[in-house]
Amino acid sequence: MAHPREKDWSDDAFLGGRIQALQPRSGYRAGIDAVLLAAAVPAVGGERIIEAGTGVGVAALCLASRVENLTVTGVEVQPQLCEAARDNAARNRLDHRVAVVQGDVCAGAKATDSTGLKPESFDRVFANPPYFQAGQVRLPPDPVRARSHAAEPGDLDRWMRFMVSMVRPSGTMTLIHTAEALPRLLAACENRFGGLHIVPIHPRPGTAANRVVLHGTKASRAPVRLMHGVCLHRPDGSYEPEIENVLRFGAALGWFETNPSCGGE
């Protein structure tokens, strides 16, 4: 495993320093989106959660830090990132509840064969799929790294197929993506996840949303709900109190808790 002082790796703090994570300086790096995603998952103690594409494990660690007595399994295709995620779990003393397996979530049925994961054995699944599409950005020469940076055509549908296969009946899915990907997300959810709740994320008041958090329930036939948009920053550039509480203190974002106003699960 890379030492934190090596030039190609950084040692970054999350949740006000409660989580320390080594991650490569180049390529995809976990940041605010991973923390927001973990805070939005409506998990409770005792549940089994799976993360598709865990990277170095930041979102999984943030979720495990917030909710006691749950277990998180991260699936990651890159061997080096798997090693980093396992090391990060151990460094944060969460390796008894956060496990990482190597596997390609785009590999269909082969993904479960290679990882040994049992379908429909998790209560919830969450993910932060690649934001870019191949052809939009310059990709790393290594094909595995390239896949984590940008999705090939059809990859989003493959991610969703893997996610729905992993959760039990009436299990839930939560993910974060770019706002422009919303049509593709909705198409990928069709006949898989329903009762969708969409939360637009705005950088600051008066700006268009550039992210969405999407939450749904396996095989639900409930209608789509467009939730009230959330701003990250105040006009002066500081974080909104709700977001500050998430980033610094590990608070939950109770957008999708089971209650009548949110439609339940």
Q: Is residue 262 in some structural domain? A: no
pLDDT number for residue 29: 86
Tens digits of pLDDT across the chain (265 residues): 555 556 789 999 999 999 999 999 877 789 999 999 999 999 999 999 999 999 999 999 999 999 999 999 999 989 999 999 999 999 999 999 999 999 999 887 666 677 789 999 999 999 999 987 655 556 566 554 555 555 565 689 999 999 999 999 999 999 999 999 999 999 999 999 999 999 999 999 999 999 999 999 999 999 999 999 999 999 999 999 999 999 999 999 999 975 433 334 4
| Residue 52 · residue 129 · CB < 8 Å | yes
Give 152-205 pLDDT, tens digit per residue: 656 899 999 999 999 999 999 999 999 999 999 999 999 999 999 999 999 999
Q: Is residue 31 in some structural domain? A: yes
Q: Is residue 2 in some structural domain? A: no
Give me the residue label for tokens 């082969």.
110
Q: Identify any residues that bridge with 215 across adjacent strands, giving them in sequence order.
A: 174, 197
Q: Is residue 77 in some structural domain? A: yes
Q: Is residue 21 in some structural domain? A: yes
Q: Is residue 1 in some structural domain? A: no
pLDDT number for residue 252: 96
Which CATH number covers residue 206? 3.40.50.150
Q: How many domains does the chain have?
A: 1
pLDDT number for residue 20: 96
Q: Is residue 264 in some structural domain? A: no
Q: Is residue 171 in some structural domain? A: yes
| Residue 176 · residue 36 · CB < 8 Å | yes
pTM (two decimals): 0.89
Give me the residue label for tokens 């940041």.
31
Q: Find the domain containing 120 and state its range.
A: 10-254
